[in-house]
C-alpha cells in the first residue's frame, strides 16, 4: 500500500481494494485514491474516494456482488470509529479514453445509495457529467494504488468541458425535492462549482465554502457557514430544518453560476 495513504484509513483502503480486486480481477486496470484523503485532508464527514478503472463493462452478477461486499467495508459518516463512508466510482477506460463529453460511468457506490443497494437495486451504467470533474480531480491529485498514474491513464479534460460539467451539474438542483435529505452536500457542491467557475481551480469543500462566504449577500452567509461548520464537525447539521433558507441560497448560487458560465461561454467560441 502506498505510504502516502493517510494512516487512519490505510486498513480500510486495503480492505476496499481487496474487495474490488476479488470481484474485478479479470478486468481491473487501476485503482486511484483521490479527494480529501490526498487534497485538503480528511474531515469528520469526508468520504474515502476511490476511482476504479476496468477494461470491460461489468456483468449484472458482478455489479450486485461487488456492491454487496462493499457495503461491509463502508459506513455512514461518524457512525463507526474504524470506518468511513466509501465512494467508489468505476469507469470502463474505453468509455473515457479518448476523452469525449459527456463521459459514461460504469458503476457508483456511495452511502447515500445504501438503502437502494440493500434492497437489491443497482444503477446501470449512465452518462454522468460529474465524472468530468472527478477525472480532472484525479489527474490533479491522486495516489495510484494499482496500475498507472491517473495522468498517464486518462486524457486531460479540456477547460471547455470542465466548465460545462460544472454548469450541467448545477442544473440538476431545481426544487427542494432535488436536495431534500442531502442539503449540506448540495450547498457545499454549489460552493465548489461557484469557486471553480470563477477561479479555474478545484478546492476542498471547506476552502470553497469560505471563499463563497466572503462573496455572498449577507442573507445567505448563515446557511453556508452552517454547512461548512457541520462538515468540519464543529456543529450539528441543521440545514434540513431550514428549508426556505436553503432554497434561497440554491437559487442565489445557481443564478451566479449560470451567469458566470454564460459569460465565460460568450468569450470562448470553442465552448459553444
Query: For residue 2, what pLDDT is reported?
Result: 45
What is the average per-residue pLDDT within 190-195? 98
Does 139 lie in the same domain as 66? yes
Does the pLDDT of residue 272 top 70, yes or no? no
Same domain flag for 13 and 143: yes
Rounded mean pLDDT of 80-106?
96
Both 228 and 126 in one domain: the answer is no
Instruction: Quote the CA–CA distance of 106 and 62 in Å, as a whole number.
Output: 12
Is there a single domain that holds both residue 137 and residue 209?
no
Q: Is the pLDDT of residue 127 over 70?
A: yes
Residue 270 has pLDDT above 70, yes or no: no
Task: Count the domains in the chain.
Answer: 2
One domain for residues 34 and 116: yes
Please check whether residue 236 lies inside any domain of the structure: yes
**Do 118 and 252 share a domain, yes or no?**
no
Residues 175 and 207 in one domain: yes
Position 258 in a domain: yes
Looking at the structure, do residues 114 and 167 belong to the same domain, yes or no?
A: no
Q: Do 146 and 165 belong together in one domain?
A: no
| Structural domain of 76 | 7-157
87 noted as active-site residue: yes
pLDDT digits (tens, 9 = 90+) for 24-72: 988 999 999 999 999 989 999 899 999 999 999 999 999 999 999 999 9
48 and 23 within one domain: yes
Q: Are residues 174 and 153 in the same domain?
A: no
* 58 shares its domain with 165: no
User: Would 222 be classed as within a structural domain?
Assistant: yes
Transcribe the chain into DSSP letters. Answer: --TTS-GGGHHHHHHHHHHHHHHHTTTEEEEEEEGGGTTT---TT--EEEEEEESSPPPHHHHHHHHHHHGGG--STTSSTT---EEEEEEEHHHHSS--SS-EE-EEEEGGGHHHHHTT-----EE-THHHHHHHHHHHSEEEEESS-HHHHSPPPPHHHHHHHHHHHHTT--SGGGTTT-HHHHHHHHHHHHHHHHHS----HHHHHHHHHTTS-HHHHHHHHHHHHHHTTSS---GGG-HHHHHHHHHHHHHHHHHHHHHHHHT-GGG-
Catalytic, out of 8, 60, 87, 106: 87
The whole model's pTM is what?
0.92
For residue 1, is it within any domain?
A: no
Amino acid at each position: 500500500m502506498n505510504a502516502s495513504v493517510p494512516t487512519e484509513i490505510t486498513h480500510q483502503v486495503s480492505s476496499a481494494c481487496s474487495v474490488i480486486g476479488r470481484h474485478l480481477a479479470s478486468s481491473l486496470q487501476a485503482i486511484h485514491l483521490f479527494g480529501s484523503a490526498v487534497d485538503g485532508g480528511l474531515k469528520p464527514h469526508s468520504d474515502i474516494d476511490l476511482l476504479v478503472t476496468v477494461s470491460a463493462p461489468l456483468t449484472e452478477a458482478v455489479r450486485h456482488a461487488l456492491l454487496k461486499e462493499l457495503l461491509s467495508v463502508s459506513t455512514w459518516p461518524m457512525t463507526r470509529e474504524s470506518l468511513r463512508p466509501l465512494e467508489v466510482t468505476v469507469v470502463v477506460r474505453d468509455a473515457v479514453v479518448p476523452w469525449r463529453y459527456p463521459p459514461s460511468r460504469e458503476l457508483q457506490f456511495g452511502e447515500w445509495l445504501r438503502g437502494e443497494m440493500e434492497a437489491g437495486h443497482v444503477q446501470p451504467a449512465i452518462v454522468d457529467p460529474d465524472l468530468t470533474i472527478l477525472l480532472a480531480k484525479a489527474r490533479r491529485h491522486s495516489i495510484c494504488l494499482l496500475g498507472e498514474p491517473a495522468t498517464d491513464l486518462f486524457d486531460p479534460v479540456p477547460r471547455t468541458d470542465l466548465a460545462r460539467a460544472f454548469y450541467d451539474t448545477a442544473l440538476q438542483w431545481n426544487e427542494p425535492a432535488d436536495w431534500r435529505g442531502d442539503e449540506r452536500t448540495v450547498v457545499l457542491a454549489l460552493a465548489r462549482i461557484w469557486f471553480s467557475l470563477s477561479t479555474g481551480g478545484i478546492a476542498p469543500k471547506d476552502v470553497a465554502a469560505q471563499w463563497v462566504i466572503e462573496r455572498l449577500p449577507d442573507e445567505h452567509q448563515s446557511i453556508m457557514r452552517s454547512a461548512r461548520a457541520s462538515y468540519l464537525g464543529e456543529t450539528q447539521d441543521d440545514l434540513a430544518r431550514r428549508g426556505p433558507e436553503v432554497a434561497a441560497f440554491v437559487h442565489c448560487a445557481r443564478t451566479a453560476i449560470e451567469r458566470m458560465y454564460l459569460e465565460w461561454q460568450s468569450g470562448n467560441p470553442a465552448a459553444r
